[in-house]
Amino acid sequence: MISEKKYPSAIGEITVLTLTNASGASVELSTLGAGIVAVNVPDAQGRLADVALGYANPADYLADGPCAGKVPGRYANRIAAGNLEIDGKVYRLPINNGPNHLHGGPDGFQNKIWTLVKAEGNTVVMSYTSPDGEAGYPGVLTATAEYRWTDDNELQLTLRATTDAPTVVNLTNHAYWNLAGHNAGSVLSHKLTLRASTYLPTDSTLIPEGVQVPVEGSPMDFTSPKALGSDIKLEFPALVYGKGYDNCWCIDSYTPGKMAEAAVLTDPASGRRLTVTTDQPGVQVYTGNWLAGSPANKAGRSYDDYDGVAIECQDFPDSPNKRAFPSTRLNPGEEYTRHINFKFSIDK
């Protein structure tokens, strides 16, 4: 079942759609940034709670620092110094994160109202067409985000894109999760498992150095369940640079076009479990290190740092400038297709 409401914003009307499954669990999606704005799922006692961080006013998602719940683009994550070279031509992208380009720049896909293409049954499809030269990127690129909400509480996201000229694309979803409830406070007691034995070390501006390094023996090791807060205050370069976790891990079983488990997040208090599967090569984990000062949330307060964790399945940061990384180039006649599934269940 799907219902919808309309809200005004500075850039036009926002549609918020609620998808409710047979059990009564629900998801709310917004055409602003093709965003996830609420996910209501049961705990071990069957009590529903909203586990996705979000704001009281649907218009407050516009240009928010956390990029809460939205689909950033044309290139999620960072491109070093805003330098993009394609076929010998250099394109200059806007700098909006220290010395780097982040999430497609300040006017990225996350800050656009997407066109609602379909809202039927358990499926919502939204699209956005980025003109040639927008944020410095070449080519007219049309992106679509298709969400499906199943009766077994799995939110399935398919991201697609086509272009009329060679360009780059990297799409993900930037939802923040707190399995105790979006307003429950710190997630540092949540336990995370990553199916990743290597990660990408970065410089102090969070640009990858270009090599994969084993996590074993370091605070980056989540190969077995570990509380997010266990090592977060250690004097380790990655944790110092980001004021917490803000790194990309390399999924061990990555095979192009094949789905694989990337991450499992559990909350011991509520018994909720989130399993993330994808066909993307990397997973960026961001522990909400700079959430303080966000717009008023659905309970009326600003979030604090570490109140949520983002698990962003994506291509590697700065891939266009790192030949050893999987290519993010998209050519005319090709279709970029990526899948990310969020399965909510009870931790047994």
Q: How far apart, in whole angstroms, are the C-alpha atoms of residue 201 and residue 209?
A: 6
Catalytic residues, which ones? 174, 312
Closest CA relative to residue 270, chosen from 161, 171, 346 = 346
φ/ψ of residue 58, rounded to 5: -55, -25
With a CB cutoff of 8 Å and minimum separation 6, the contacts of 47 are none
Sign of CA dihedral 151, 156, 158, 159: positive
| DSSP states along 226-237 | EETTSSTTS--H
Q: Which pairs with CB-CB distance under 8 Å and at least 24 residues apart come from 200-204?
A: 200/247, 200/248, 200/249, 200/250, 200/282, 200/316, 200/317, 201/237, 201/238, 201/247, 202/238, 202/241, 202/247, 202/317, 203/241, 204/241
Please report, for residues 43, 83, 254, 310, 337, the alpha-carbon distance to residue 79 in angstroms, rounded to integers and kept in the order given.
39, 7, 22, 19, 21
Q: How far apart, in whole angstroms, are the C-alpha atoms of residue 107 and residue 60?
A: 15
Q: How far apart, in whole angstroms, are the C-alpha atoms of residue 189 and residue 69?
A: 21
Secondary structure element (H or E) that encloses residue 129, with its range: strand 123-130
Structure-token match 């023996």, residue found: 217
